[in-house]
Amino acid sequence: MNIAVSACLLGEPCRYDGASKPHEGVLALRSHHTLVPICPEVAGGLPIPHPPCEIVVGSEPLHVVDANGIDRTAAFLEGARKTLETVQATNCRTAILKAKSPSCGTGRVYDGTFTGTLVDGFGVAARLLQENGIRVLDENQVDSL
Ligand code: SF4
């Protein structure tokens, strides 16, 4: 089947710091599935590298800031929207997304204080995919496929 995957898990150096996070278990899925790389932050127009960003948890409406305090909400929303378009256009019903990311995190994200504090929540793109019926997992849940 077609599975959308955070591009950094496939070894693409698209993280905010210019690094990648290749994951053996995710890469192994290539033998039986078609993996569709996605990176919401690149899709949203953020350059690589860029300062780390966090969702300011508890704020309504959604508010995403970078470590310099600059509002990056629009880029995250645009990246999520484009990612959903890609996922739907490629008929992916499942997405494997990088844990804890403000775009891709599923279930736990940093709280917006840049102190390394994790709280319950979803990244902006992960939430939009889930709201549109896509099954979202992180790289630690590959075995449940
Ligand atoms: Fe990886 Fe998602 Fe961050 Fe892109 S936005 S680098 S795919 S965690």
pLDDT tens digits along 94-126: 999 999 999 999 999 999 999 999 999 999 999
Residue 57: per-residue pLDDT: 87
36 ligand 1 Cβ < 6 A: no
Residue 39 lies in domain: 2-144
> Which residues does 109 contact at the CB level (< 8 Å), separation at least 6?
54, 55, 57, 100, 101, 102, 118, 119, 121, 122, 123
pLDDT > 70 in the chain, percent: 100
> Looking at the 3D structure of the chain, how many domains does it have?
1
Q: Specify the ligand 1 atom closest to the Cα of 101.
A: 8
Q: Assign 54 a pLDDT band (cuts: 50, 70, 90).
A: very high
CB hemisphere CA count around 4 (13 angstroms): 28
134 ligand 1 Cβ < 6 A: no
**Top mutation candidate among 26, 104, 138 for ligand 1, by most atoms within 8 Å of CB:** 104
Predicted model pTM:
0.97
What is the rounded distance in angstroms from the CA atom of residue 68 to the CA atom of residue 59? 18
39 ligand 1 Cβ < 6 A: yes
Distance 60 CA to ligand 1 centre (A): 23
Distance 1 CA to ligand 1 centre (A): 22
**Top mutation candidate among 8, 72, 140 for ligand 1, by most atoms within 8 Å of CB:** 8
The partner residues of 35 in beta bridges, in order of sequence, read 3
